Structure formats: C-alpha cells, structure tokens
Amino acid sequence: MNNSETTPPSTDIEALGIDVIRGLSMDAPRAANSGHQGTAMALAPLAHVLFTRIMRYDAAAPHWADRDRFILSCGHASILQYAMLYLTGYGLTLDDLRDFRQWDSLTPGHPEHGHTVGVEVTTGPLGQGFANGVGMALAEQSLRERFGEDVCDHHIYAIVSDGDLEEGVSHEAASLAGHLRLGRLVYVYDQNHISIDGPTDLALNDDVVKRFEAYGWHVQDLGESAEDLDALESALIAAREHEERPSLVVIRSHIGFPSPDHTDDPAAHGLAFDEADISATKAVMGIPDEPFWVPDEVLEYYRAAGSRGSVARIDWEQRSAAALSGRSAEWDATLAARPLGADWADALPSFGPDDSPATRAANQKVLNALDPLVPGVLGGSADLTGNTGTRLDDTEALQPDSPGGRQVHYGIREHAMGSALVGAALHGGVLPISGTFLVFSDYMRPAVRLAALSGAKCVFVWSHDSVGVGEDGPTHQPVEQVMSLRLIPGLTVIRPADGNEVAGAWKLAVEGNGPIALITSRQSTPTLAGSESLALEGVARGAYVLDAADSPQVVLVGTGTEVAVAVEAAEELRSSGTAVSVVSMPCWEAFEAQEPAYRKSVFPDGVPVVSVEAGVTSGWQRWADASVGIDRFGASAPGSKVMAELGITAEAVAAAARNLLS
C-alpha cells in the first residue's frame, strides 16, 4: 500500500514540519561554519512529500530489500537528507545534526553509504548519483524479472540539480536509461537557476524538457510548484505509475527561500547565512529563534511517517516467503552476490602447459564457468563485449523487450557504465561486471573512486593492459593506468599472469567484498609451470613463489604477461650459475594484507629483487631494488615489437639482475 493512499491534504502540521526542516538546514551549517543551506531550504517541501506521501520504506528496517531507494545526487545539500533521516527515525539524533561536518560524526559533508544509515549511495561529485540510480534500476529490474513482483517491486527516487545535469555522465546515463525504458526511475530536477559563480545562464541554457524527451523519458514540467505539496505529490504519483519510461519531474525552486535577503542569491549555495540571517528567516516562518528547534508534535508526525511502511514490509515478508518457497538459498545468494554452494570454485576451469590464451580469452572461459554458480552475475561492456572477454553465453542481451537479459550493452558510455555498476552493487541483488580497455579506465575513474569509498562489490574488467596492444599506438596503450589504480584505497587490483591466475582472480572477487579491478591482456601468454596447483591460493595471497631456488641470490617478480618474461630471464641467469626465484605478484593489495612471515617467505630478507612490468616503474620501489618497465608512452607497431623496443625482454631483466648482484 502506498503512503499516499492514506495521507490527507496539506495540514498545519505539514507546514510546520517544513519550517522545521528549513530551520535545521540553516542551523547545522551555521554550527559547523561550513555547508550548504540554500538548496536544502528550497527543497524542504519536496523532501517532506517524498518521505511522508510517496516513498515506501520502514525507518526501523533500513535494509529491507524491497524498500524504495532515495538518492540525493546533489550531495552538497546533505543536511536535507540528514534532517529527514533524523525526523523519520533512522537513528540519527539532534546531537548528530549539531555535529554536522565534524570529525567522526554520522553527518559528514556529503552523504556516505555505509557510514550513515539510510544513505543508499555516496554522492557529492555531481552527476554520479544520477548515474548510480540507473544502476539501481537495472538491479531492481533484474531481481523483479527473476523472482517476480511479490519479491521485488519498488522504485528509485532521486533529487538532481543543475550541476548534475551539466556533468557529462548524466547525459550518458539518461540516454541509456531512456533506451532501456527503466520505468522504475523517478527523478526530480531542481531547476533553481543558481550556481556558485552566479546565475546558471552564465554557462547553461539547455532546454531540459526537450533533452529528456529526446532521450525517451516521461517529463512533467511543474514550473513554480516547489511549495505546492499537492502538485508535487500528484506529479510524483503520475511518474511512479508511468512505468513504460523513466520519469523526470521538473520544478522551479528558489534557493534560500524564504530568506528575506538571500532568496535566489548565489551566495546561498554555500555558507551565506549568519546569525542575523537565520533569525530573520525564522521570523518570516514564524518559528522560535532557537537553534535545532523541533517541537514534539512535529517529531511525532515524522516518526509516524517513518514507521508507516512497516505494514507494507510485514506484508512483503509474508508474500515473498511464499513466492520464494524452495528458492530461498538462491535468493540469499543473489541478494548478497555470493556463490551457491561451498564447493563452487571446483567448477572453475584450469589451464595446462599446452594452453596459452590471452588472459582476456581465459577471462571469457572462467566467467562463463562461474555464471551459473553465482546467480547474481550481471555482465556488460562498453561496446567491447567480445574484445574484453565479458560475454555471457547463456543469457540474452538486456533490451526493452527482454528485461530479464543479463548482458548489458552500455554502448560507448564508460562514464555511465562505471557509475551504474556502483549503483547496481549498492542496491544489492547483482554482481555487476563491466568491460572496456584499460586505457579507458581514465573515463571511469570518478566512479571507481566512489566504488572504493563506498565498498561497492563490483568487477571492473579492463583488457588490453599494456603496450602489447600494438598497432593502435600510444593513445590505446596504457602505461600509467595500472599503477594509478593501485593508488586508490579500497580498490583491489589484480593483473593475472595466465589463465589459472584469472580463475584465482574471480575466486577472490566472488568471495570477497568491495570493488575489483581485473586487468587482462590482449596478447597470448603461456600457462606457467606450477600455476595450475598454486594460482588459486597464490592470487588470494597476492603474491607467491612460482619457481623457487633453495637459497636464491636474486628474486625476479612480475605481474601479468611479464611473469613469463621473468621466467625466461631466470632460465638465462641459471645457465650462468645464479640461483634465482621467480615470484608472481598479481595483487599488491592482497599481498600487503598477509602476515609478515609470509611476505618474508616470498621476498626473503637480504635478497635483492628485480621487478618487471610493462608500465611505469614508479611505485615498485616498495618491493624491488631495481625495476624494468616503461616510463614513457608507447608507439604504433606490432605488440611484440613495441615490447622489445621498450625493453620488456628477458635479456633486460637478466641484465638488471646482474647489475644488482655486481
């Protein structure tokens, strides 16, 4: 049952509640001497309508799987979301609002998923929340098609701003959502005509209505209705019921309203209100000039709204239990993006000495082996499905007429694809996978950073991992990308050396948490002797001794296809009597998490180390005494020729080892 079915028309308590939201939106930034109050004040009526008349949620059960999702894409207005979470009973207190933007508080400057209960996605970098919602809609649709509406049947609501719609990622995401007809998306565009520098017409004169209609969205332009609760409610209900297309509701709001001095003032975007401004605005509203004033009747009103959804939740629990009869294990595994069965990894393929696939080709084989074992897999790529080894063989493409398809064609939209993966992962119910070339990870970097910050469990597959790409030349040959990705805290970067390490990478991804960067090669590479028995555990530990000497004089360590180069260099050194161990190091982050004794067993004290990786050498100083790499851009020629000319050879590695030993 929708909340709107039992909500009376606008009342005095609603008007008072909106004034309280506006008061809190001024008080918290003032107390912090930092923050954004103007947008929160202008959107107080909209937030009130969403949380009391429209959205289906139960504040006492914030992780209920079939709740509506809410995204504040303009995350700088976070005090608006925190005020609603406090008022409706998600667990925030007035003291939390008083601690706005302070160390270790639950109310940071921008909403952070996993930090504050009720925050669905981490927002702040404009446009990201918009695209996250598209990923959430993909996850909702996937669950609904798989398990039925008695199990999954909800909407994704978002507030988006001028800044969100200016960022390019919103264009990509809106185009994709319109093409796929993701009808569970309901976005409200706050058109306040204000940016930090001044009026938005300094840089923006888009016709947003025509733009979104061209994308295939259902658009309602409400004009001057930001204060009209009933008009907002009617438009949102119409949007919710229009499930053939995503919906955009456009409202003209006035930043800083009802301030007598700062309404429609660009300064109201930031911290414009001093004590006198707050007092004057509260006088206009007719509420006490008292910081963080919340009368009991207002709190009771909102707490009742926050608990109203418990009826729907309990009803859902009963309906879903019946609908999931005999499928509860599948539902639990899907919702958690986990495998079915404890021995699932036994079904992963292994590769023998006669196999020498490119690791992207091995990825294709491993992915299709685990697909039936991990029920939440949602594959996809940016127009490079076959090239990146991310094709799911036993599913159809996701299209408007096949909404149950699990192969998403994102098109050439890397920005939106990355952000959608984050949203889908945080929604739950899918293990989202993307594929594109490693050099284009630069397009995805904002989303990857937020995936790491929010702990989103998704897999970014990036192929064509080095100058081995060859003839496409330096524009398509990554050299700095692998190392730059390793700099992101919370991102697990895996560069497997052969097919067996690809299998180990997927085992780590499926059984772990958080985002994975899986980096694969275009060129073929031999299956390494010993990897068939060592790789699963070795990848999980991040690095392992692939080829051991009893008392090594030098250790050669590599990643990806360059491990084979290290093996060849070791053979050359051994021919002249040097004792050499070879280490494969597919994942720095996993290795750093190992106990010191294990790390010393891989890199013994006092034994010099030479690294080889077809990328920049900066960073390898942490593990190696000398490094063979590429500290320049590549060149257009066959991949093997480029590798040789730029020094990624066994001879160069052996020479570096001899120099160390001498």
Q: Is residue 6's pLDDT more than 70?
A: no
Per-residue pLDDT tens for 564-610?
999 999 999 999 999 999 999 999 999 999 999 999 999 999 999 99
pLDDT score of 10:
56
Average pLDDT estimate for 442-447 = 98
CATH number of the domain located at residue range(s) 540-661 in this protein: 3.40.50.920
Domain ranges of the chain: 3-307, 344-519, 540-661
Per-residue pLDDT tens for 289-321?
999 999 999 999 999 999 999 999 999 999 999
Q: How confident is the model at residue 5 (pLDDT cuts 50, 70, 90)?
A: very low
The residues that are catalytic are 414
Per-residue pLDDT tens for 268-282?
998 889 999 999 999
CATH T-level assignment (fold) for domain 344-519: Rossmann fold (3.40.50)
pLDDT score of 134:
98
Helix (H, G, I), strand (E, B) or coil at 92: coil
pLDDT score of 386:
96
Q: Is residue 651's pLDDT more than 60?
A: yes
Q: How confident is the model at residue 453 (pLDDT cuts 50, 70, 90)?
A: very high
Average pLDDT estimate for 543-568 = 97
Taking the CA atoms of the chain, what radius of gyration do you get in angstroms? 27
Q: Which two tokens stand for residue 392?
A: 């799911």
Per-residue pLDDT tens for 87-130?
999 999 999 999 999 999 999 999 999 999 999 999 999 999 99
Q: Is residue 2's pLDDT more than 90?
A: no
Whether the CB-CB separation of 560 and 519 falls below 8 Å is answered with yes
Q: How confident is the model at residue 7 (pLDDT cuts 50, 70, 90)?
A: very low
Those residues with Cβ within 8 angstroms of residue 395's Cβ, 6 or more apart along the chain or in another chain: 371, 379, 405, 406, 407
* Whether pTM exceeds 0.85: yes
Q: What is the DSSP letter of 115?
A: T
pLDDT score of 46:
98
Whether the CB-CB separation of 542 and 588 falls below 8 Å is answered with yes
Spell out where 133-217 has E strands: 156-161, 185-191
Proportion of the chain above pLDDT 70, given as a percent = 98
Per-residue pLDDT tens for 142-183?
999 999 999 999 999 999 999 999 999 999 999 999 999 999
Torsion sign (Cα): 315, 321, 324, 330: positive
Proportion of the chain above pLDDT 90, given as a percent = 97
Q: Do domains 344-519 and 540-661 have the same CATH topology?
A: yes
Torsion sign (Cα): 149, 151, 157, 158: negative
What integer best gives the mean pLDDT of the chain? 96
Q: How confident is the model at residue 395 (pLDDT cuts 50, 70, 90)?
A: very high
Q: Is residue 371's pLDDT more than 90?
A: yes
Q: Which of 385, 390, 362, 617 is nearest to 497 (CA)?
A: 362
Name the residue with higher pLDDT: 342 or 546. Answer: 546
pLDDT score of 160:
98
Q: Is residue 197's pLDDT more than 60?
A: yes
Superfamily (CATH H level) for 3-307: Thiamin diphosphate (ThDP)-binding fold, Pyr/PP domains (3.40.50.970)
Estimate to the nearest angstrom the gap between the alpha carbon of 418 and the chain centroid: 7
